[in-house]
Structure 1
């Protein structure tokens, strides 16, 4: 099975940004880093969303949209759940014994995003809820679309674009009428965040149906420079200033169009990463490190937050930079030790079982997703 190093690199960047976000928030909050916390956390998760939409969108197109059978829908969902459920529910069980009082049934059904206090039990699970519901709802939707439109490529792209517009309009309506907070009220709400993954699906469809356009994008550096400028000024800088100056919760742009603009920028970066020279790396240290960070990213994402919280709560008595740095490094070591264990003894056996049950999935080179 051939791995795309560029996509692994994207996933590695995403998990490192999330780790930096929570590392700063738990160990360096006395050093005026609040703006950086949200910038790293927001962009890291957005990269995950777009990458997930791109990879899973490719599978949806191949296995559901172009083979619209209920059996394929069942296999698609089963394969996804073999990938995501085992490690997730292992963490739920562990957290249940650690903080039983915060447990809520919504976490078992990926419905914890609708009330802020429900996320106290498993804080980072909000993004997984969005992804899981996206997989289920849109795989069903694309199956029906394929049956109605006879798997037309133009219909698929048109519908995805219309859905992106509809979701943006829905977010505008919601913000105008309910004035939600930026983070929990918009960023973490299931129906309002499907657009990030839909951008990834749109990118997958462009790669499949209009590959010449997809191949042309990374050949022109102008697009990369323009995209980085847009991402910086209309994404990074806007979020940073909004958090530092406490204006993000009242910002119309920040709670509406920011999300789709940043998602599109992440999608364009994804094209460059997939096609960049990093894919030419031989089996050296750098490639092995990227592959390691990518493979363990899901387990690391699941386990790091409670570990950071425990170590910070127990040992963070001296606010000096040196002690904070030491505790953060200690947290990372513990995180990766536990994450590697979960990857080796939970994730890997279930993925091997999945590939035996669905051998075509492994043969097609998507067995790791």
Structure 2
């Protein structure tokens, strides 16, 4: 796939929404719209689009074993190094008496195995400073299952049926696991439709039906926006309509944003600006570090008896972005260069 700068801009929008959500209280006016869940869903839909696009391209050019192996290797090179570096660092810091508020120390197996979302579903402990990692677990589980399905299904008709069925599967899973069993919706199956909406966009574009999709979205996007506003502004988290359809409406809007970013125009130009592209490139690191680095920075200042008056967390934000950019260029980017061996 050729590099599309505007997609890095979308990553930037997604991570900035997450940062806003966690940086301000949930009852702050800026979080009237649930910025965090919107940002995470945008990440999921973008992943669904990109991963499905890659896999559809590999279906016609490589064997199943080679395609699956290359895909897993490339994902591992992107995801694992800094993820496991963070967990290892937390254990090292603990030996020096520096800890964060997290269940990681008591239940490390869930974190190391990318099954933390299963633990969070049980504990429902959102005060865990690693609680955002539930979405990383969901993504990793998706990366294992999705290639097997996309590469293993032989006909296009069956593949399209799978994609549409998956959009319904997420609704059914949320009805059972959230509405009936009072869950919090962090199992992969309760999020799987968000990836499928991105996958559908990738499928139709690859089939040369992009203009048909654009025509279709001219009336679908306004309806999805109306549904999004109703579920976010007029419904509580206990409302069945919000439990079922918030992610659906957000996914459709996210797919529409991706579609707009793929075509040259004003929005694509805005999303392709240098600042957004640079933030998008380091978005994974920002997501991993955003709850940790500021807290560890303030702990360090306290240990050094340096008093910092920072009610708006400006220092924490500066340290977070600085650390993320250094991490990307010094640690992540050199490792990602190894992807060339897994084309």
1:126 aligns with 2:134: yes
Q: Which runs of 5+ in 2 are unaligned?
A: 94-98, 302-308
Q: Which runs of 5+ in 1 are unaligned?
A: 147-151, 316-321, 362-369
Q: Which moved more, 1:57-66 or 1:135-144?
A: 57-66
Residue 109 of structure 1 is aligned with which of 81, 106, 113? Answer: 113
Change (3 A) 1:39 1:69: same
Aligned-pair CA distance for 1:351: 0.8
Structure 2 CA distance for aligned equivalents of residues 162 and 62 of structure 1: 22
Number of residue equivalences: 324
Q: Is the 8 A contact 1:23 1:308 kept in 2?
A: no
Aligned-pair CA distance for 1:241: 4.4
Matches within 5 A, 1:1-369: 3-25=3-25, 32-33=27-28, 36=31, 39-64=34-59, 67-98=62-93, 99=99, 101-102=105-106, 104-116=108-120, 117=123, 120=128, 122-146=130-154, 152-180=155-183, 185-186=184-185, 188-209=186-207, 211-212=208-209, 214-218=210-214, 223=217, 227-228=221-222, 230-231=224-225, 233-242=226-235, 247-248=236-237, 250-278=238-266, 287-310=273-296, 324-325=311-312, 327=313, 329-355=314-340, 357-358=341-342, 361=343
RMSD between aligned residues: 3.1
Change (3 A) 1:176 1:336: closer
Which secondary structure state, in structure 2, belongs to the residue aligned with residue 256 of structure 1?
helix
More helix by share: 1
TM-score, normalising length from structure 2?
A: 0.83
Change (3 A) 1:348 1:278: farther
Structure 1 CA distance for aligned equivalents of residues 248 and 89 of structure 2: 35
Aligned-pair CA distance for 1:144: 2.6
Q: Is the 8 A contact 1:104 1:121 kept in 2?
A: no
Which secondary structure state, in structure 2, belongs to the residue aligned with residue 305 of structure 1?
coil
Structure 1, residues 247-301: CA drift from partner, whole Å, max 9, x if none?
A: 31x21111122222221221112101221425875xx997221221111111111
Structure 1 CA distance for aligned equivalents of residues 230 and 315 of structure 2: 31
Structure 1, residues 96-147: CA drift from partner, whole Å, max 9, x if none?
A: 334373551111111011123487262221111111100101111223323x
TM-score, normalising length from structure 1?
A: 0.78
